[in-house]
Amino acid sequence: MRILLTNDDGVNARGLKILESVARTLSDDIWIVAPAEEQSGAGHSLTLTQPVRLRRHGERRFSVTGTPTDAVMLALAHVMKDAPPDVILSGINRGANLAEDVTYSGTVSAAMEGALAGVPSIALSQAYSREGLGDTVPFAAAEAWAVKALAPLLEFPMAPRTLVNVNFPALPPEEVGGIRVCRQGLRDYGRLRIVERTDPRGYDYYWFGLGPMVETPGHSTDLEAIADGFVSVTPLHLDLTHEQSLENLDKKFAAAP
């Protein structure tokens, strides 16, 4: 099995090193094509107004001066064009990618790009608490549970243009409750917190804080799975069409004069 690894934290990120160790327990045919620098929050952006440079760091190891999407595109259309991957693993991100995070996340977007190209793709992220910041973020749960989450997924026939988003809770491995397959959650955007402060030169600046999650019956979302101490596994699809609105709009325009 040929596995392509990428991320949005950069080619030298600790989470990518951990993902490589995990991937090497599954295959010895591992390729890395990742952004040269951190691209957190880049979403599914593509570099169009400046050149993208590719740098080789060793056998099957490359960095890209661009976004996670750029990295996957270059990997599939150039670096690995004669030997495409069987699967793409993106991560392990420093910080969870839950609920609407997936629309901002470079980690998830790299997997989206793989799915668009027809390659089974999985995004992996490690949640952390306030006690673990920067380089001190503990990846122990991801290290211990990644293979348990990946093994069934690698045998699962993914539908076209779908991907899977995996998140690990901020807990010691022995305290993780298991793996929960769940739907994408939703935070209360109306209660988004904006913290306003003033810098030493007298200019205002802002920090964005996330709103509380919306509770669901049976704790059925990724937000709640992580809060309950489980690994969350969420299948996502790239067709954003809302079927009911499509039908209703069709009726509306058909009835219009």
Binding residues: 8-9, 40, 93
Whole-angstrom CA distances from 60 to 9, 20, 84, 101, 140 are: 19, 12, 12, 30, 26
Whole-angstrom CA distances from 86 to 2, 16, 43, 156, 215 are: 5, 18, 23, 13, 37
In the chain, which ranges are continuous DSSP H helix?
14-23, 68-74, 101-104, 106-116, 140-154, 222-227, 243-255
Phi, psi of 120 (to 5 degrees): -55, 130
Alpha-carbon span 233 to 173, nearest angstrom: 17
Radius of gyration of the chain (CA): 19
Q: Which residues, at least 6 apart from 8, have a Cβ–Cβ distance to it below 8 Å? A: 35, 38, 39, 40, 42, 67, 68, 90, 93, 105, 106, 107, 109, 110
Element counts in the chain: helices (H) and strands (E) = 7, 11
The count of residues in the chain is: 257
Residue list for the binding site for a divalent metal cation: 8-9, 40, 93
